[in-house]
């Protein structure tokens, strides 16, 4: 078992600031485990809204909840959107005796309803799979290969991890997506998701994918947005600035969990990954996702010009411009593209993230950072 200390602290801090905390994230990422762990340390009441017994207890939600004290956990809250107005009433009580922790599987409907009904009363926090802080930096190869979903990462064997990931994909397509309002046949969506896997780390090309699936650009764009809303896909938008050079406008797309990426690509072992044509793109997506977990920022972009200069990730963080390049190489060196990015983007620092454990300066304000020291680097920023 991995103690998710930082995630628990974020939830506790959110509950200290607001009467309602909404914990969102993909299914099977550990939301229920963390909520039950927190509930075990204090007076609490737990409702699983996929349980017929708990649904019966909430036949009259206001009557069932108004007398409760301590921490009240409502798991899979998207199953009962009619409870949100009740929570608004309960949260507005003077000296309210209860705090409410809502768990949801990143439903767009959940976010919309919560934001409208509980405006000013709810704080959102997000949970994903394991990251380097939780597994330990020395376990990065396993985390990269299996992904961060707890049951895949903690599986006894590679075969068990691969089987769980395949089962997750099937269940997600057949059960979860329809609940999120995506009424697309599972085989069609799997084909689309697999095409995204083959486009991992590349510019989004709606026309190309649409032609391959005999669908319109608008339709495949809606599929992409839905997978993004449920934390399966990350879109990195291009950076715009009044530069003399013309820049691209399409986002880059990444599957957020490399375990799912490898499953969709049919990569079932470390040996298969090492020899796969997508190994470099897989590494880039893994290292980029870890960077965004360790360097949280709402301003994350990539940069690319028509002249060929590019930067994998630009973060605007605490008044600084930080650049990140991802190289699946033990001895990366500076390139013309990096120097152009330093000048045109006016970067405060550029880090070349690669496998390894050292931080080494290779040029003025350009350092090579091994993935194992990325966490330590984040502390200094």
One DSSP character per residue, 207-231 reads HHHHHHHT--HHHHHHHHHHHHHTT
**Across the beta sheet with 44-48, what order do the strands follow?**
44-48, 70-75, 98-104, 20-24, 122-126
- Output phi, psi for 48, to 5 deg: -100, 110
Do 183 and 108 lie in a common domain? no
Do 71 and 122 lie in a common domain? yes
- Output phi, psi for 263, to 5 deg: -65, -45
Do 16 and 90 lie in a common domain? yes
Per-residue pLDDT band at 245 (split at 50, 70, 90): very low
Residues 355, 370: Cα–Cα separation, whole Å: 5
- Output phi, psi for 278, to 5 deg: -95, 10
Do 85 and 180 lie in a common domain? no
Q: Tell me the pairing of strands 70-75 and 98-104.
A: parallel
Do 68 and 170 lie in a common domain? no
| CB environment 223-246: b (16+ within 10 A), e (fewer) | bbebbbbbbbbbebebbeeeeeee
Number of folded domains that form the chain? 2
Per-residue pLDDT band at 170 (split at 50, 70, 90): very high
Average pLDDT over residues 330-346: 91
Do 235 and 271 lie in a common domain? yes
Do 173 and 285 lie in a common domain? yes
Do 214 and 301 lie in a common domain? yes
Average pLDDT over residues 260-285: 95
Longest CA–CA span in the chain (Å) reads 67
Do 189 and 323 lie in a common domain? yes
Give the C-alpha distances (Å, rounded to integers) separating 249 from 302, 304, 324, 346, 352. 10, 9, 20, 20, 24
Q: Which of 3-7, 76-80, 81-85, 204-208 has the highest mean pLDDT?
A: 204-208
Contact residues for 375 (Cβ-Cβ < 8 A; gap 6+): 132, 133, 137, 294
pLDDT tens column, 214-227: 999 999 999 999 89
* Domain end among 96, 111, 126: 126
Per-residue pLDDT band at 115 (split at 50, 70, 90): confident
Rounded to two decimals, the pTM is 0.92
Average pLDDT over residues 168-195: 90
Report helix, strand or coil for 11: helix
Do 86 and 37 lie in a common domain? yes
Per-residue pLDDT band at 246 (split at 50, 70, 90): very low
* Domain end among 70, 103, 126: 126
Higher per-residue pLDDT: 223 or 240: 223
Residues 200, 263: Cα–Cα separation, whole Å: 13
Domain that holds residue 252: 132-379
Residues in a beta bridge with 46: 73
- Output phi, psi for 19, to 5 deg: -70, -20
For 277-339, give the secondary structure using H, E and C. Answer: CCHHHHHHHHHHHHHHHHCCCCCEEEEEECCCCEEEEEEEECCEEEEEEECCCCCCCCCHHHH
Do 107 and 150 lie in a common domain? no
Higher per-residue pLDDT: 148 or 248: 148
| CB environment 322-345: b (16+ within 10 A), e (fewer) | bbbbbbbeeebebeebbebbbebb
Do 100 and 194 lie in a common domain? no
Per-residue pLDDT band at 3 (split at 50, 70, 90): confident
Q: What is the model's pLDDT at position 92?
A: 93
- CATH classification of the domain holding 40: 3.40.50.300
Per-residue pLDDT band at 242 (split at 50, 70, 90): low
* Domain end among 126, 154, 183: 126
């Amino acid at each position: 078992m991995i103690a998710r200390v930082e995630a628990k602290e974020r939830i506790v801090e959110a509950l200290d600031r607001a009467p309602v905390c909404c914990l969102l994230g993909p299914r099977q990422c550990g939301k229920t485990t963390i909520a039950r762990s927190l509930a075990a340390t204090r007076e609490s009441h737990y409702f699983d809204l996929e349980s017929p017994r708990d649904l019966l207890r909430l036949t009259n939600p206001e009557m069932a909840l108004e007398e409760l004290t301590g921490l009240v956990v409502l798991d899979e809250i998207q199953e009962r959107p009619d409870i949100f107005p009740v929570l608004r009433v309960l949260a507005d009580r003077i000296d309210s005796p209860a705090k409410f922790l809502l768990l949801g599987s990143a439903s767009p409907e959940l976010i919309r309803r919560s934001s409208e009904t509980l405006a000013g009363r709810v704080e959102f926090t997000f949970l994903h799979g394991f990251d380097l802080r939780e597994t330990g930096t020395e376990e990065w190869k396993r985390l990269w290969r299996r992904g961060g979903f707890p049951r895949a990462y903690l599986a006894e064997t590679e075969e068990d991890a691969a089987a769980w990931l395949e089962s997750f994909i099937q269940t997600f397509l057949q059960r979860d997506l329809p609940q999120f309002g995506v009424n697309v046949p599972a085989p069609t969506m799997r084909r689309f998701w697999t095409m995204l896997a083959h486009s991992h780390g590349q510019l989004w090309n709606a026309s190309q994918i649409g032609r391959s699936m005999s669908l319109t650009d608008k339709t495949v764009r809606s599929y992409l947005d839905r997978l993004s809303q449920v934390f399966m896909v990350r879109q990195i938008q291009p950076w715009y600035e009044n530069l003399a050079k013309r820049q691209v406008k399409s986002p880059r797309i990444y599957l957020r969990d490399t375990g799912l990426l490898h499953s969709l690509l049919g990569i079932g072992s470390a040996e298969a990954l090492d020899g796969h044509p997508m190994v470099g793109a897989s590494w880039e997506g893994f290292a980029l996702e870890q960077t965004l977990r360790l360097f949280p920022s709402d301003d994350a972009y990539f940069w690319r010009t028509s002249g060929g200069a590019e930067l994998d990730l630009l973060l605007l963080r605490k008044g600084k411009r930080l650049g990140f390049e991802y190289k699946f190489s033990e001895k990366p060196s500076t390139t013309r593209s990096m120097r152009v990015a330093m000048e045109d983007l006016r970067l405060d620092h550029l880090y070349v993230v690669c496998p390894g454990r050292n931080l080494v300066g290779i040029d003025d304000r350009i350092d090579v950072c091994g993935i194992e020291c990325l966490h330590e680097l984040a502390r200094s920023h």
